[in-house]
Every structure is written in C-alpha cells, then in structure tokens.
Amino acid sequence: MLTLFFDWHAGCNSDFRSLMLRISANEATSEAITLRLDGQISGRWVKLLEGTCEAQLNKGARVIMDLKNVSFADRDGIALLRNLTDRRVKFLNALPFIAEQIRDAKP
C-alpha cells in the first residue's frame, strides 16, 4: 500500500487543525487511487486538493475520494468537487449536506 499525505499545515496553535485538510492516498491498483480526506475543503486547501487530483488524473488513474472525515466545504470546494464529478471522480461517504451541495452546484 502506497501512502502519500499532505500533513496538517498549521501554525503552532492547534486550534487551526479544524481549518486544515489532510490528504492520504492509498493506491489499491495501478489503475485506481483512493484519496482519503480529513478536515475541511476550503480556502487554500482547495488548490492543494485540485493539484493532487490533477496529478493523478493526468497519470490516467481513476480517482476515488473518501469524504467520510470532511466536515465542511466552502463554495470553491464544492465547485471543485462538482467539476471533479464531470471528470468521473467517484465520491464515497460524503455527509448528506455536502453530497446535496455537490449535486445542486452548477457545472
């Protein structure tokens, strides 16, 4: 199992942990990769997630994203997730509220 991760990026204050995003990548096969997200898809973390997904999609990998531990996504985060659905990224375990926002977002 290959595990890549972008660890918690925060200042010294641990209160910022809720405002961060951790991305763990488990490559199950040579054709698919599962990205497990923990935290919030917001602010600067949207670009981090976009870059991570782009790198995998450009390799021709099928991307599966586990959103079980995502507590919040801002407008830009939802827009990115919506755009990724058009690129056939599959989402697992999204909170109902986040899943509904992705479905309702305009392409």
80: left (phi over 0), alpha (psi -120 to 50) or beta: alpha
Question: Residue ranges per domain, the chain?
Answer: 3-9+18-104
Q: CA angle at residue 20 from 76 to 86, to 5 degrees?
A: 35
Q: Which residues of the chain have pLDDT under 50?
A: 1-17
How much of the chain is helix, strand and coil, in % rounded to 5?
40, 35, 30
pTM: 0.81
The CATH number fitting domain 3-9+18-104, selected from 3.10.310.30, 3.30.750.24, 3.40.50.150, 3.40.50.720: 3.30.750.24
Q: CA–CA separation, 8 vs 22, rounded Å? A: 6
Give residue 1's pLDDT: 41
Q: CA–CA separation, 93 vs 38, rounded Å? A: 12
Give residue 80's pLDDT: 98
